[in-house]
Amino acid sequence: METVDMNSVSLKRPRSEDDVANADEIKRQKISEKSKTGNNSGQSVESVTEQPDKSLLEDTKNEIIPNEESEEQEDEELEDSDEDGDPESFADMMKHGLTESDVGITKFVSSHKGFSGILKERYSDFVVHEIGKDGRVSHLDDFSVPVDDEVNFEDPSEETFTVLSDEDKQRLEELQLLKNKETSVAIEVIEDTKEKRTIIHQAVKSLFPGLETKTEDRDGKKYIIAYHAAGKKALANPRKHSWPKSRGSYCHFVLYKENKDTMDAINVLSKFLRVKPNIFSYMGTKDKRAITVQEIAVLRITAQRLAHLNKCLMNFKLGNFSYKNHPLKLGELQGNHFTVVLRNITGTDDQIEQAMHSLREIGFINYYGMQRFGTTAVPTYQIGRAILQNNWNEVMDLILKPRPGAEKGYLVKCREEWAKTKDPAAALKKLPVKRCVEGQLLRGLLKYGMKNIISAFGIIPRNNRLMYIHSYQSYVWNNMVSKRIEEYGLRAVPGDLTLKGATAVHIEEGDVDNYTIHDVVMPLPGFDVIYPKHKIGEAYKEMLVADNLDINNMRHKIRDYSLSGAYRKIIIRPQNVNWEVVAYDDPRIPLFTTDLDKLEGKPLPVLPTDGKFRALKMEFSLPPSTYATMAIREVLKMDTSIKNQTQLNTTWLR
Task: Show which residues are catalytic.
Answer: 287
CB-based contact 34:26 (threshold 8 Å)? no
Phi and psi torsions of 399, nearest 5°? -75, -35
Q: Which residues partner with 317 through β-bridges? A: 256
Contacts 24+ apart (CB under 8 A), 605-608: 607/582, 607/583, 608/583, 608/584
A 10 A CB-CB count for 229 gives: 11
Q: Name the pairing type of β-strands 107-108 and 250-258.
A: unpaired
One DSSP character per residue, 230-264 reads STTHHHHS--GGGS-TTS-SEEEEEEEEES--HHH
Please spell the DSSP secondary structure of 557-621, one letter per residue. Answer: SSGGG--B-EEEESEE--EEEEEEEEEES-TTS-SS--HHHHHTTPPPPP--TT-SEEEEEEEEE
DSSP tag of 440:
H
Q: What is the dihedral of CA 454, 457, 462, 468, to 10 degrees?
A: -100
Asked if residues 71 and 443 have their Cβ atoms less than 8 Å apart, the reply is no
Task: Give the span between the Cα atoms of 466 and 39, in whole angstroms.
Answer: 9
Residues 48 and 151: beta-carbon distance below 8 Å: no
- Residue among 531, 524, 526, 533 at smallest CA distance from 553: 526
Tell me the residue type at 30.
Answer: K
Backbone angles phi, psi at 556, to 5 degrees: -100, 155
What φ, ψ does residue 23 adopt, rounded to 5°?
-60, -45
